[in-house]
Structure formats: C-alpha cells, structure tokens
C-alpha cells in the first residue's frame, strides 16, 4: 500500500491552513453551559512591559491548560484581553511624538496613546493567534474600552459607598518646575557636586554633642529621628536618648537601624520628610509623623519657620550661614552626590507628601490569608510569594495616580465647599471633560463643580479581570455559571500585585475567591541568565522564531524545556533543534500511513509489551496534565515515541506488519498495535502541539478534529514493562555485533536469544534475521 503521507518532513507552513480551518469550523467558540471552566487569562500589555519569547512561551502554556481541560471534557471559557491602561504607553507616546503629557491637550494626548496601543496590539494579537491560542479572539476585550472603564468605575463607586476609600497624604516624586508628580520610571540619576554639612546635635541632659552629616540641612525642620547602626560602638550607649536639633531646638530620639552606614559621614543619620527614598521607607517603618517642609510651589513651607518661601537651595545656603554663625558646624565637605533628577526638566526632584485616595486593605489581611490558603497553587512553592507579601503589607493601597491614560476617578468637587460628589454607577465618567451629573452640591447648594483629573492605578482595572470576563453585574446567569473561575495563570513577578489585588478586589465585591487554582510561571531569561525585557534590549522577538520554526516547534520547546514555575533560558538553537522530534513523529506516521487502519488482530507478546508501555505513558502524561505541568508529558512522550516506540517496537514489528513469514492474524496484530500506539500518542500530544497532531490525525484517523477527542485513559493491561530493559539491551547487542562485523542490518547473524526473551522469539528472529539452531 502506498503511504498516505509522502512529504519527508513536517512543514510549519501547514499551520496557516489549519488555523483557518479551526476558525472556519468555529472549533473553539464558547457556548455557555451549566458547568464551565473559566480561565482568567492575563491580558498582556502592548508596550513597556515585555512581550518577547518568554511571554510567547507563557501564553503557549496557558493554551495548553485550555486544551487539556477541553480534552478532559470541560466546557472551556478562554477569554482574551489586552491591558491598555497605564504609564508605559504614556512614556512611549511622549517619546515617539516628542511631546510632554502635561503640555498637550488631554484629549489629543489620549488619542495619540490610543493610536500607539492599536499598532502594538495588532502585532500582539497576531503572535497569539499564530501560536495557536484557542481563545475567544472574536470577543477580545480591552481594559481601556468604555465598557471596561465603566465597570472599573462602578466597582469603585461600590467601594466608596462601603466606606473603604479614604484620603491621606503620600510622598510623591515631585518636579516643581513642571509642577507635576513624576513616576519612578521618569527619574534619572546624576552625580552632582554638593556640600556635606557636619552639624552639631546636642545630647539632651548631657554635656555632649554628636556630629551628623547631611546634604540637606534645610530639612532640619522636618527631622523626626536620628538613626545609628546598632553595630556602631560609638553610639551604642546613646541609643534611646534624645537629641536637640540645631536651630529648631526640637527633640528627636536616637534610633538604631541597620540602614545607617557606619562609614558614611559620622555614622549618624538624620531622618527627615523627605530627603530621599530611604527616608520615606524609614518614616513608614518607624511610623514617624511627617512634616511638609517643601510645598507644591517648590518653596519652603511655614514649617520651615524663618526660611519659609525660599527655594530649597536658597534655604540651604542661608541655613548653613546661620549654623556657622551659631557655631553649630564642625566642617563642610565638597562631595559628589548621586541625585535623583526629573528626566524632563533635569532638576532634582523633591519628595513631597500629597493627598491621594487609598483603598483599605490592612483589615483584610487575615481574610486574604484564609482565601490564599484555599487556593491551590501550581507549583505549590509559589504560594509563599503571596503569603510573605501578606505578612509584609504595612500601608493601605494608594489607588490614585496623577496620570492621563487610565480609568478616570469618577468624582467632582464642589467649587464652594470642596464636598466630593460621586455619581451613580451605570455610565463611563470622564470628570476632566464631562460636566458634573449633580445639579447642586448636597452640602452647600452651590452649582459649580470641578472634575477630578486623576486616574486609577492600573491594578484597579486589571484586578477585576475575573469579574469582567464573567460579566459580574452585567449578566447574572452568565456570572453564576462562570464564577468563581477555574484558574488564574500568571507570571511570578506579579504575584504581589496582580494576583494579590485581584484577591482583594474580588473578595470585597463578591465575598468569594476569584479562582480555585493559580498557576504561576517563571521568567524568560536570556542565554546569560538575565531576565529578558524590552528595556534591557536582550529580548528575543518571538514572531520570526515562530515563522521560521513553526508554532508547534516553539510550543514543544516551551513544554519540554521549562520546568513548572522555574525561570527558563531561551536559546534559539534549542528551539530549532526541537523540530527534530516533530520530524521523528512525522516519519513514524508516514511509515504507518502505508498500512490500513484495522479494528483488531491477534496480539503477540511484543504487542502486549508495547501496549503496557503505552499504558504507563498515558498514566504519566495524565499525572502531569492534572498538575498543569507540561514538562512531564512532553519529555515522557518524546522519550517513549523516539526511544521505545520508534527505535524498538517498530523495528520488532516491521517484518510482521509486512506479513513476511507471519500469518494474516499475526500481521493484523502488528498493524493494529502500531496504529493504536500512534493514535494514542497523537491524542496525548494534542494539547502541546495542536497543529501537527491535527494534521496527522485528519490524514490518518478521522474526519473530525483531534481537539474534539478526549485524552486517553489507561486500560490496565498486563504490566510487561519490566521486559523493556532486556529488549533494549538485546537489540542493541545485535546491532553492535553486526556493526563490529561489518554486516548490513539485514544480513543474517547467529546470536542466541536469552531465555527471558523467549516469548518474543519469533519477532526477534524476523527482525534481526537471526540464524536459529
């Protein structure tokens, strides 16, 4: 019989046609049933956050979760979304058009951002599709759509009514030249010359002074404590004593803290609100009460006393003079200091407390711990990231951002009495351009309002993804049947943010956990072991790799190379060499395609042996799949297909399958077994390599997609796997003997078959053309 398959190797270009076929047949369209398995797919961000080979690998594996669940009989809801809110696109847009956000009309700036996102998103969707993701692309959502933002605002209004939102000050990076807060990503550092002033602080009730060096003497008025290293013997007897701050004459305590460097300055450091980020951390950690020393105009506030109204630099000069006049300076050094500057204006930033909205979270920590413990993590070790984070939360969640491209905070303020007005849910509000829905202020009756111009932290949007995709508050039937969702797949680095905030938000809104399982993936590293990211420039673009090697090759590489939850190195050479396995599978199939498909036959012991190995394989694969660990089935399938099935069994059964020296029943037993094994392998492999398995399945076995099949179950056949080693060793011995004696493989040779292989005697004689005595 002529083989049905004639090409000598798997051609990745066939993937396009298969994709089209799936699309035409609406193979993965979701229809709501009573029981559904919902995947809370991470919506990728089209700029800034990395989209590279590691991310492509991540999404491939998420698709394997979907396909595995489908082949286990679940009705899978696999939504696709794109996360489009946040800072990175703003920075990208500013750079691309050489403009500044604050100096551009807001509507115009938003349009430019949208345009940039659209371009980047199109490319991203193309990658996801060509990877073979079986998600719901027709209905893919965007977190900046009117519907999504309306939903974010609704959930905020709900929280507002529940009284868990409040205002408090929070230190912001502030650029007083442009009058804006700036994000950490917009800070650059430069070494600038400055004066390190050694000031005399008096130890209270003792005739002693200690020297404290600072580059920011103008912040003396905001000094709340002095820290010394607990190992610093010079100060160990002063810990807990009070110091008198020069000029202000206020008293502060000496506190031990490891962040004080013994060798820097005098070893004692004054902590002020706020000289640098370390001060911010210390104020929080030591629960100090902040003093607002520098105002939004970039000048010293009334807290600075005589220095009020001066710019920090002028105040510094004046203060140094006054200190010197009062004989409170020991010495002044000229040093070079690493100073944080605004990327735009190039002036040193100040850290200024400003009012921000907070969402209460500290009182939910115990509840979060309980929910966290109820969620199954894959791998379990990464649950620790969440639990450690819960242990270390010390402040509530600041949710407002002074940015443009995000969901607007739906609040207006009365122009007269500043009373906030929060509208009813049901509409997408843009207070920076919409007029206030209220006629007049509820408190004072005034009719003029000013809209809030801030937006939410992007995690406010993305943390409700499981509620959005399950149509919470929008379609009760749909929601009931899909929530809590089945699984949250996501990357390790955002457990503390996305995973935690989702838990928090969903619990507050639904009093339930958002999913019963969380699947945590590691990061893609480059060949040197560094995390891949666009900003570092070491990211490998996945598209050319997929186009060259094919999605299945890429997917099999991902499954077989990446241990669950661990970071993984990406090497194009390894991806390329993975193709060989698909080639092997292809050629096994090509060989089998020359034999008819038959329903049964008389099984010999060789057949029973490979079927028992197959049973073991099914068991291992299902075990791996049940833990969403694709490394296990991928490596087990490769090992079995290549080294057991192709290298041993096919060679053993080949002569019998051709019917040379065997009767028809025996021949049929071989052909039946060959097809049984191959069709099982294809089904087991289908979640990992959906294209090649589909192609081979349709060519050999069925008119219907392999992705409609169920994963094979074990048949509990008699276990003969203890024979495997003896079989492999004997065959290897014969092949080596022939090689040593310069014999061709079909030449006859005299080698005795060991007694324990007697049951395979007939097959082995035919296989090796053994001379028998």
Partner RNA sequence: GGGCUCGUAGUCUAGCUCGGUUAUGACGUCGCCCUUACACGGCGAAGAUCCGGUGUUCAAAUCACCGCGGGCCCA
Give residues in contact with RNA (CB under 7 A). Answer: 8-10, 258-259, 277-278, 280-281, 381, 384-385, 388, 392, 492-493, 496-497, 523, 525, 529-531, 561-563, 566-569, 571, 573-574, 577, 579-580, 582-584, 587-588, 590-591, 631, 635, 638-639, 642-643, 646-647, 650-651, 654, 732, 735-736, 739, 744-746
Strand ranges, E, within 52-182: 76-77, 79-82, 136-142, 165-175, 180-181
**Sign, Cα dihedral of 547, 553, 554, 555:** positive
Burial degree of 528 (CB within 10 A; 0-12, 13-18, 19+): exposed
Number of DSSP helices (H) and strands (E) in the chain, helices first: 23, 25
Q: Are 745 and 766 in contact (CB under 8 A)?
A: no
Measured from the CB atom, the residue of 325 and 392 that comes closer to RNA is: 392
Measured from the CB atom, the residue of 326 and 530 that comes closer to RNA is: 530
Sheet of strand 420-421, all strands in order from the earlier edge strand to the far edge: 420-421, 412-414, 449-451
| Nearest distance from C-beta of residue 56 to RNA, angstroms | 17
Q: Are 491 and 521 in contact (CB under 8 A)?
A: yes
Taking the C-alpha atoms of residue 644 and residue 651, their distance in angstroms, rounded to an integer, is 10
Taking the C-alpha atoms of residue 546 and residue 535, their distance in angstroms, rounded to an integer, is 22
Alpha-carbon distances of 98 from 104, 108, 117, 179, rounded to whole Å: 11, 14, 17, 19
- Which residues are bridge partners to 521 per DSSP? 491
* Contact partners, residue 195, CB within 8 Å, separation at least 6: 215, 316, 320, 332, 333, 334, 335
Strand ranges, E, within 205-347: 208-214, 223-228, 242-244, 251-256, 268-272, 329-342
Measured from the CB atom, the residue of 70 and 170 that comes closer to RNA is: 170
Question: Residue 449: which H helix or E strand, with range?
Answer: strand 449-451
Residues listed for the chain: 773
Q: Are 368 and 390 in contact (CB under 8 A)?
A: yes
Q: What is the largest CA-CA distance in the chain?
A: 116
Residue 496 DSSP one-character state: I
SS3 733: helix
Taking the C-alpha atoms of residue 762 and residue 412, their distance in angstroms, rounded to an integer, is 89
Q: Are strands 180-181 and 165-175 parallel, antiparallel or unpaired?
A: antiparallel
């Amino acid at each position: 019989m002529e083989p049905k398959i004639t090409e000598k190797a798997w051609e990745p270009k066939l993937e396009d046609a298969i994709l089209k076929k799936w699309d035409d047949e609406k193979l993965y369209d979701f229809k709501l049933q009573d029981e559904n398995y919902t995947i809370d797919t991470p919506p990728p961000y089209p700029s800034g956050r990395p989209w590279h080979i590691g991310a492509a690998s991540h999404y491939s594996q998420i698709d394997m979760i979907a396909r595995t669940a489908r082949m286990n009989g679940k009705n899978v809801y696999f939504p696709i979304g794109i996360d489009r809110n946040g800072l990175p696109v703003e920075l990208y847009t500013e750079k691309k058009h050489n403009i500044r956000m604050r100096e551009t009309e807001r509507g115009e700036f938003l349009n430019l951002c949208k345009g940039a996102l659209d371009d980047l998103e199109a490319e991203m969707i193309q990658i996801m599709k060509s990877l073979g993701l079986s998600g719901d692309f027709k209905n893919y959502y965007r977190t900046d759509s009117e519907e999504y933002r309306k939903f974010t605002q609704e959930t905020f209004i709900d929280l507002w009514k529940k009284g868990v939102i409040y205002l408090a000050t929070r230190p912001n990076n502030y650029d007083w030249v442009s009058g804006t807060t700036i994000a950490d990503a917009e800070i650059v550092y430069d070494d600038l010359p400055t004066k390190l002033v050694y000031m005399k602080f008096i130890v209270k009730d003792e005739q002693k002074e200690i020297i404290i060096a600072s580059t920011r003497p103008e912040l003396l008025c905001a000094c709340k404590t002095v820290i010394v290293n607990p190992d610093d013997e010079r100060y160990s007897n002063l810990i807990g004593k009070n110091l008198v701050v020069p000029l202000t004459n206020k008293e502060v305590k000496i506190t031990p803290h490891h962040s004080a460097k013994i060798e820097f300055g005098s070893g004692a450091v004054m902590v002020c609100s706020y000289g640098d980020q370390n001060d911010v951390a210390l104020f929080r950690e030591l629960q100090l009460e902040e003093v607002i020393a520098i105002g939004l105009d970039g000048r010293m506030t009334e807290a600075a006393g005589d220095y009020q109204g001066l710019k920090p630099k002028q105040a510094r000069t004046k203060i140094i003079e006054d200190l010197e006049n009062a004989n409170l300076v020991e010495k002044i050094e000229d040093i070079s200091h690493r100073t944080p500057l605004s990327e735009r204006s190039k002036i040193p930033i100040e850290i200024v407390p400003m009012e921000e909205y907070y969402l209460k979270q500290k009182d939910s920590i115990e509840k979060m711990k309980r929910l966290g413990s109820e969620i199954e993590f894959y791998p379990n070790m990464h649950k620790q990231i969440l639990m450690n984070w819960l242990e270390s939360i010390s402040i509530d969640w600041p949710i407002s951002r002074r940015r443009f491209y995000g969901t607007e905070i739906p609040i207006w303020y009365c122009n007269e009495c500043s009373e906030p007005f929060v509208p009813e849910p049901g509409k997408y509000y843009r207070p920076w351009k919409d007029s206030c829905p209220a006629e007049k202020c509820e408190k004072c009756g005034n009719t003029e309002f000013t809209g809030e111009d801030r937006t939410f932290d992007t995690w406010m949007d993305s943390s409700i993804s499981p509620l959005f995709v399950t149509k919470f508050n929008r379609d009760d039937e749909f929601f009931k049947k899909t929530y809590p969702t089945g699984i949250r797949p996501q990357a390790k680095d955002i457990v503390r943010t996305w995973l935690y905030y989702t838990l928090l938000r969903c619990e507050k809104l639904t009093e339930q956990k958002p999913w019963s399982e969380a699947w945590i993936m590691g990061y893609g590293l480059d060949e040197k072991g560094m995390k891949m990211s666009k900003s570092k420039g070491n990211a490998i673009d996945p598209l050319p790799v997929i186009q060259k090697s094919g999605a299945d090759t890429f997917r099999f590489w991902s499954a077989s190379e990446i241990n669950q939850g661990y970071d993984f190195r990406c090497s194009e050479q390894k991806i390329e060499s993975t193709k060989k396995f698909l080639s092997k599978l292809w050629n096994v199939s090509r060989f089998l395609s020359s034999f008819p498909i038959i329903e049964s036959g008389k099984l010999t012991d060789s057949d029973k042996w490979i079927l028992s190995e197959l049973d073991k394989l099914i068991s291992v694969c299902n075990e791996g799949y049940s833990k969403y660990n694709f490394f296990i089935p991928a490596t087990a399938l490769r090992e079995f297909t290549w080294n057991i099935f192709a290298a041993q069994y096919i060679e053993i059964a080949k002569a019998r399958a051709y019917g040379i020296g065997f009767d028809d029943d025996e021949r049929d037993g071989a052909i039946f077994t060959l097809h049984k094994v191959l069709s099982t392998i294809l089904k087991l492999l289908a979640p990992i390599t959906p294209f090649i398995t589909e192609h081979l399945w349709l060519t050999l076995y069925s008119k219907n997609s392999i992705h409609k099949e169920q994963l094979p179950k074990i048949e509990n056949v008699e276990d003969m796997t203890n024979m495997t080693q003896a079989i492999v060793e004997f065959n290897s011995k014969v092949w080596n003997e022939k090689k040593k004696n310069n014999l061709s493989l079909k030449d006859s040779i005299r080698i005795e078959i060991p007694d324990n292989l007697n049951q395979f005697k007939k097959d082995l004689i035919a296989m090796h053309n053994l001379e028998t005595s």
